[in-house]
Structure 1
Amino acid sequence: MARNLYGPRVRMGNWTEDVYLEEELMKDFLEKRDKGQLLIQRNRRLKENLLRPMQLSISEDGYIHCGDKVMLVNPAPAEKEAHLFLDGDLSLCMTPDEIKAHLSDELEVPCGLSAAQTKIPVGRNTFIILSPDRNATGHVLRYGQNFCLATTGGFEDKMLYLSSDHRTLLKSSKRSLLQELYLTDEVSFLNCWQAAFLDPQLRLEHEGAPVPANAKILLSHCRTNRGLAAHRHLSWSTYFGKEAEVAVHTHLDSHRVEKPMNHWMLVTGNPRKDSSTMLELPTSPAGDPGALEQAAHPAAR
């Protein structure tokens, strides 16, 4: 195939065709730019939605209610380990597919999740507590009660539900190959979760009791009876960089007690400051369990 060694300005060969081709490419580019269909524009809109600041619900009575907006936080373990990839408090975050996210400004389902070191409530890490029948808004969430965790990811018309199912040869978590955790827009029993008391010796006594806000609990998947876990020692590349893997698996120690990777907190908003969480308040001193509530509500002193 002969190669055209001349440019459009030389006016030799198929110069008219080359000029028209450049004009059509420029026209197509300008048309897509005006409609906001360029890849960089679509990618920017997706990031703006996922990182949009969110306002968490404020718990006035210290408990979690259906309809509350919370963050799911895996608290930092008491004993630091050398092989951990991420330290500190990790929040559960929506993680879209890296390739699909660069080609679209909408969320593709199913969507993955990860754990990241962020304490600021944004679209990708803010979840809504929902009852399975959607008719219990405002009711207190209780231990052993089925509920759903949903997120909009900063979008207004898209609701995705935290889901999981049994592991198969074709469907498992990326690094640990355990039960996969994902977000889907399909409403089913795979969306149902339960909260359990942290101490196994007192778990039955707390069955039916209200779930406290900003306290360590266990989150168990109803279909598979396995716990939500953050794998701090496993990292994988996401759309927002390297973050820790999350999966659905119950990790037990030698005493048959759940390990810190299965510990979670439903974090609510700080009444003193907008776009803030209760994690920013000072920890309560030993022997004074009401100090945290007094710090959050100074008028009650």
Structure 2
Amino acid sequence: MTYNNSVLIGNWSEERLKNEYEFKLFLRKRDRRELLLQRSRTLFSNLLKERPLAISGTYVLYGFNVQLVASDMPAKAQLVDGKKQYGLAMSILVRERQVDYMQNITDGCLMTLSPITTPCCRNTFVIISAKDESIRGEKMDYGDEFLLRAENYGDPTAAPLYVRYTPCSSPASSDRMPIRLSAVKDSNCRFTTIPLLPCDRLEMQGSPVKTGARLIIKNCVADKSLCVMNQNWMQTFFGPECGVTCRNYIDLHGRFTAENVFTLVSDVETKTKE
């Protein structure tokens, strides 16, 4: 076999045709908005679009948007302007590998705690009464059972999704993240609140929950408190975030520690105070 100039021309032609095919494929994906960059921009636009919190007054009201913020947990390890930043907001997570086929929240999305506390689509939820979902504008009391519904602003006709805790029937690893969005509305989606201090729990049972008050959020089925997985930080598509689960962290005096302390932020004034 002999090699001459025609062999080189053949290789160059093959490379040129390959480049032309890849360029046409790129243009077709761009026109269909299938490029990873375009999908990422769509995802950020859908989930990080700011949502103004409705001003509901001093108390948490059914039917309004709320944020679940772990106000006593440090948000960043580094100091900002010489001060430590506090506050982690419960948020919906879409992972990097899901970007190719998911640009909005869907059934099965994980829940995490994010240092981004600006109200947006991924960290605001509508608080719904477990007794009657049509209730709107009434005060929520300590001990009332409620649901947290995630709003799909990209597709208003989509089925409602609820924050759901899945109990483990057998021993599992400590870094398991059992809180996800679910289209199934069952008893595992029900949560309730109790005052933070033990001395106030009997007296304040049945009294309205104040906006921004430090309290304990419990899952009604597991009877465990919502908590921060402070040892389980991970790098996500939205930056470093940590896990969230239901577990009781109690000190020697029988008091809940900072991992279990949350606040319900439901109005602009409370958000400004923080």
TM range (shorter): 0.7 to 0.9
Corresponding position of 1:261: 259
Deviates most, 234-243 or 122-131: 234-243
Deviates most, 129-138 or 101-110: 101-110
Kindly provide the CA deviation profile for residues 250-282 of structure 1, in whole angstroms up to 9, marking residues without a partner as x.
1111122211211111112225xxxxxx23227
Kindly provide the CA deviation profile for residues 136-186 of structure 1, in whole angstroms up to 9, marking residues without a partner as x.
1222111111111122365343442111021255976xxx33662222222
- Tell me the percent identity: 26
Tell me the C-alpha RMSD between the 2 structures: 3.1
Q: Which amino acid aligns with 1:185?
A: A
Count of aligned residue pairs for this structure pair? 262
Corresponding position of 2:139: 140
- What 5-or-longer segments of structure 2 have no aligned partner? 79-83
Q: Which secondary structure state, in structure 1, belongs to the residue aligned with residue 90 of structure 2?
A: strand
Q: Which amino acid aligns with 1:267?
A: V
Under a length normalisation based on structure 1, what TM-score does the superposition of the two structures give?
A: 0.76
Deviation at 1:224, TM superposition (A): 0.6
C-alpha change, 1:261 and 1:11, in structure 2 (3 Å) is same
Kindly provide the CA deviation profile for residues 101-158 of structure 1, in whole angstroms up to 9, marking residues without a partner as x.
3553233431112222223111111111012331212221111111111223653434
**Structure with the higher strand share, 1 or 2:** 2
Q: Which amino acid aligns with 1:161?
A: Y
Corresponding position of 1:224: 222
Corresponding position of 1:40: 37
Corresponding position of 1:167: 168
Q: Which amino acid aligns with 1:125?
A: N
Which of 201, 204, 218 aligns to 1:203? It is 201
Corresponding position of 2:238: 240
C-alpha change, 1:267 and 1:217, in structure 2 (3 Å) is same
Deviates most, 22-31 or 183-192: 22-31
C-alpha change, 1:210 and 1:64, in structure 2 (3 Å) is same
Under a length normalisation based on structure 2, what TM-score does the superposition of the two structures give?
A: 0.83
Aligned counterparts of 2:67 and 2:266: Cα–Cα separation in 1: 7
C-alpha change, 1:7 and 1:237, in structure 2 (3 Å) is farther
Say whether residues 1:67 and 2:63 are aligned partners.
Answer: yes
Deviation at 1:54, TM superposition (A): 0.6
Kindly provide the CA deviation profile for residues 177-220 of structure 1, in whole angstroms up to 9, marking residues without a partner as x.
36622222222221111111112222122222111111111110
Aligned counterparts of 1:44 and 1:7: Cα–Cα separation in 2: 46
Aligned counterparts of 2:46 and 2:152: Cα–Cα separation in 1: 7
Q: Which secondary structure state, in structure 2, belongs to the residue aligned with residue 76 of structure 1?
A: strand
Which of 116, 125, 131 aligns to 1:127? It is 125
